[in-house]
Amino acid sequence: MKISRRSVLAGAAAVPALAALSAGSAQAAPLRTAPSGTGLRVGVGIADVTGPVAENGMMGYSSFDQVAEGLHQRTRARAYVFADAADTRVVYVCVDTCMVFQSVHDEVIRRLHTAFGGAYTERNVMLTAVHSHAACGGASHDYAYTLANLGFQPLTFQAEVDGIVEAITAAHDDLAPGTVAYGRSELTDASVNRSRIAFDRNPQRDKDYYPLGIDSSMRTLRITRSGTDVGAINWFATHCASLTNENLLISGDNKGAASYFWEHDGEGVRYLDGAPGFVAAFPQTNSGDMSPNLHLEPGKGPTDDEFENARIIGERQVAAARNAFADAETMSATTVDSRVMYLDMANQVVDGRFTPDGQQRRTAPACVGAAMSAGSTEDGPALPLFPEGARNPLVDALGGMNAPVPNWLADAQAPKLVLVAVGLLPPDGWVPHVLKIQILRIGDVYVVGGPAEFTIVSGLRIRRTVAEELGVPLENVIFQGYANSYSSYCTTPEEYEAQQYEGGSTLFGRNTLPAYQQGYAALAAAMHTGADVPRGPAPRDMSGFQPNFGPEVPVDAPLAGRQFGDVLVQPASTASAGTQVAVEFVTGHPKNNLHRGGTFFEVQREDGARWLRHADDGDWSTKFRWRREGSNASVARITWDVPAGTPAGTYRIQHFGDRKNPDGSITAFTGTSAPFTV
C-alpha cells in the first residue's frame, strides 16, 4: 500500500528509512522617545557563522545528494543584549542556520561563562535559528540530525559557536542607554498553510484566530539609541525553504535575504568594516505549517525561480517589518527578566487542565512516523536516507537502527505508524528528549522560546497559556520556535490525529503540545510572582562519541600547466546593469580556510591608484561556486549579477584562496581578473 508524502494510509507498510528531519520600503516615522532615567540599555552585534561551503552536507532536507558546492551569501548571527536599571540582562540571538542544536547551545553557554562569569547563562540567553534549508550541516551531537551529513562536522560546529559568541560579545560591548518600541503589521503574501487538512481539525476558536489559515502577523521590536535606530527584531512565520533541495549553495534563504536587504539598504558591503551598523534579524515564530512556496510545490511561488522567490519573499518581509517599525510605540515598561526550565519530553505526565479531553495523559519516547519519512510535497520531498541497496557508515558505526517498537510505545504514539523508535536507540536516543523551554521579558513583550517547529495553532495555544498566567494581553506574547535545541515538530493533538507530515514528525506523541503548555504555564506563573522554578533534568551530553565519515581534504594541486590563482575564464570587457560577470580561477579547497569574518573574493572598483571593495561573497548579487577537477585540482567560479544603480567605472574581481601543501600546512594566494568596464 502506498505511503503518500503528506499522510499515511491505515495499514501502510513501514520502510527502513529515517528521512527529512525538518523538512518596496517605507520610511520610518520619528520615534517617540522614552522618559529619561528608565535605565534601559541596549546593545547589538553581528558576526559570521558560515561553515564549510564545499564537500559538506547541507542541513534541512536531510538529503545525501545536497552537498555544498559553494556560497550564495554568508550566514550571520545577530545578537541583542537588553539590560534594565537593576542590570538584569537578557540576550536574544538569531542565527542564519537551520537549527540551533543542543551541542551548539551548550558550548556557547560554556564560553560565555568563561568570558563573562555569571552575566550570561542558560537562563537569560536565547539562541534561535531562521531555519534556512540552505545552511551548513553537521553541528549536532544528536545522531538523527547528522545522518545525511555522514556524522558530526567540527568545522560547521566551530563556525557556529565562534560566530554566535562573537556576536554576543559585540552586543555586550555595544551596550548603551536606549529605547525599545513594539509594532505590528500584516503580511499575507509570504506564506501559505501547507497542512490545511490538519489545521481544519482544530476547534473553531483556533481557526477563527487565523481566518486565512496563516499567521499573518509581523511583530517588530525597534531598538533606538540617542535618536538613532540601531536594530530591529522582526518575527514572522514562514519556512525558510524558498531554496530547494537541488540548491547546492550555502545561503540564509529568504530570511537571510531580508536581513541583508534592510541592513544594506542600497549602501553596499558593510559587514567587513568593523562597526555593526543597523542590525536587522528576521526570526521565525510558529512556522511549522507555514510554507513560502505559495504554489504549494518546491521552488514554485511567487515565480518558478528559487533564488528569485527567496528574494521576493525576503523583500516582502522587509516591507512589512518597516511598516511595523514605523508604527512602533515605545514600551511603557523597561523591566528585563527571564525564566528557564528543562523538560524530559519523553516522560511527561500532563494534567487534564492542558489536554483536550480533560484527562491526565503522558508523552512517550521519540518516534518517527511514516508521514515524516514520506516528507512534505510543498517544501521538498523527504528522500529516504537508506535507499534500497545503500548503507550509511554512520548508522553502521552506531550499531544499526532496527530497535523493535514495543506494543506499549506503538499504542502511546497512536495513530502514528511508527517507523523508527529513535528515542530508544542506544546510547540514549538519537534525538534530544531533555529540552529547554524559556521566557524572556523585554519591557512589555514576552518572548517564549520552544525547541521545535510549532504549527501556528500550537504557537497560539502556548501564547494563550502564557498570557493568561502573566495577566497580559495576548499580543504582548511572541512565540519563538527553533530556540536553544531542536526536536522536529509540535502539532496540536487534533492535528496529530491527521498524521500529516507535521504530525508524523511530532516525536513525543499526541500530548506533546499539552506537555509544553504545562511547562510554560509554570514558567509564566513564576515570572508573574517573581519566584524561581526548578531547573529540571540536565540535558544529556552526547559529545563523547561523534564519528565523522565525511571526505578528507586532499593535498591541493593546480590544473596541469597552471598555478594557483591563475584566471581560467576572464570577464567580458564591458558589463551593464542586468548582465552577469563571470570569472574562473585555479583554487584550493574552501575547507582549507573558511574565511569566516572575511570573504573568498571581492568585486573591486578602481578609485585613482586604489581598488576599493564594492561587493563580496556576502552580497545578494554574487555567487561563489567550487568544483573538483580530477582528484586534487579545484576551480572557483565567481559570478556577479550587476545590480541596477551600480556606479559606472572600471572593475575587477580578486579571489582569495588557500591551498593545502603535502606537509599539511596551508598557504594563502590571490588571483586577479582583467579589469572590465561597467
Supply the residues annotated as catalytic: 291
Considering Cα of 95, then 97, then 103, then 107, what sign does the dihedral take? Answer: negative
C-alpha cell recorded at residue 481? 520556535
Beta-ladder partners of 128: 94, 483
Give counts: helices (H), strands (E), the chain: 13, 36
Q: Quick one: which H or E segment has residue 487?
A: none
**Coil vs helix vs strand at 585:** strand
Which stretches of 328-455 are DSSP H helices?
370-374, 393-397, 407-413
d(CA 163, CA 75) in angstroms, rounded, equals 10
Q: Are 345 and 92 in contact (CB under 8 A)?
A: no
Cis peptide before 427 (omega within 30 of 0): yes
Question: Which residues, at least 6 apart from 564, have a Cβ–Cβ distance to it below 8 Å?
Answer: 556, 558, 586, 587, 588, 657, 659, 669, 671
For residue 51, which of 141, 128, 164 has the smallest C-alpha distance?
164
Angle (CA) 353 356 361, round 5° = 70
Q: Per-residue DSSP letters for 127-163?
A: EEE---TTEE----SSGGGTTTTTB--HHHHHHHHHH
User: 217-225 and 179-186: which strand pairing?
Assistant: antiparallel
Helix axes 102-116, 154-173, angle to 10 degrees: 40
d(CA 73, CA 583) in angstroms, rounded, equals 18
Taking phi first (over 0 means left), then psi (-120 to 50 degrees means alpha), and beta for anything else, what does residue 441 get? beta
Beta-ladder partners of 610: 607
Angle (CA) 503 509 514, round 5° = 95
Cis peptide before 415 (omega within 30 of 0): yes
